[in-house]
Amino acid sequence: MRPTLGIMITATTYGMWLRGDRRGWIDDGRLMPPSPGLEATDRRRMPHPPFRFARDQFHEVGGCIGRSLTERLATPIFALHVGAWHFHLVVGAQPADVPQVVKCAKDAVRFNLRPSRPIWTDGYDKRYCCDEPSLRSRIRYVERHNESMGWPPRPWPFITTFEPRMTPP
């Protein structure tokens, strides 16, 4: 098995992508079809309204995520995008496991904003990149999200360039 070069993580804000969503949804790593009844049931159970970041918070939220991951876990960050209802993060392979990385990122934002209600969903999506083309493709995917908002592809100083490991001949 090839080593993991990086991982793309996507986390969504509270109430913005429920089970049954018309866009599809993930259950145990599998893409599930839309189910309007299931989505409506989940929405009725929510004790708080869905959470969205304001556009003027995107850069601040990204800064919280990046500083926390680089300072606490020494995580190399190859790409990051923060939107109104989610973040995409591409990190390099490192000693911290994925749940620890996600918890560190989400907790940093929650601590900084100090909301009196939930802001994140419990889960997240992860995509392992075991070869250079897949990693570079995921990095570009995230960078294009930033560019579509009129931002540079790498809007935070902690984002680092992926440098492939040279293997001896």
- Helix, strand, coil percentages, rounded to 5, for the chain: 35, 20, 45
Confidence at 167, pLDDT banded by 50, 70, 90: low
* Spatial CB neighbours of 165, under 8 Å, sequence gap ≥ 6: none
For residue 163, what pLDDT is reported? 86
Report, as an integer, the average pLDDT of 4-18.
92
Name the helix (H) or strand (E) containing 148.
Answer: helix 132-148
Range of the domain at 122: 6-16+51-148
Give a yes or no: residue 127 inside a domain.
Answer: yes
Give a yes or no: residue 83 inside a domain.
Answer: yes
Confidence at 123, pLDDT banded by 50, 70, 90: confident
What is the identity of the amino acid at 77?
I
Q: In this predicted model, what pLDDT tens digit does every residue of 64-121 receive, in sequence order?
A: 999 999 999 999 999 999 999 999 999 998 777 999 999 999 999 999 999 999 999 9
Burial of 92-131, coded b for 16+ CB within 10 Å and e otherwise, reads bbbebeeeebbebbbebbeebeeeeeebbbeebebeebee
d(CA 79, CA 15): 25
Using CA of residue 17, residue 112, residue 46, residue 54, what is the dihedral sign? negative
Q: In this predicted model, what pLDDT tens digit does every residue of 20-37 receive, in sequence order?
A: 888 888 787 788 899 999
Confidence at 133, pLDDT banded by 50, 70, 90: very high
Give a yes or no: residue 26 inside a domain.
Answer: no
Using CA atoms, how far residue 45 sits from 12, 40, 41, 87, 115, in Å, is: 18, 9, 6, 24, 20
Give a yes or no: residue 110 inside a domain.
Answer: yes
Give a yes or no: residue 160 inside a domain.
Answer: no
| Domain at 11, CATH number | 3.30.70.1290
Report, as an integer, the average pLDDT of 29-51.
91
Give a yes or no: residue 155 inside a domain.
Answer: no
Domain total for the chain?
Answer: 1
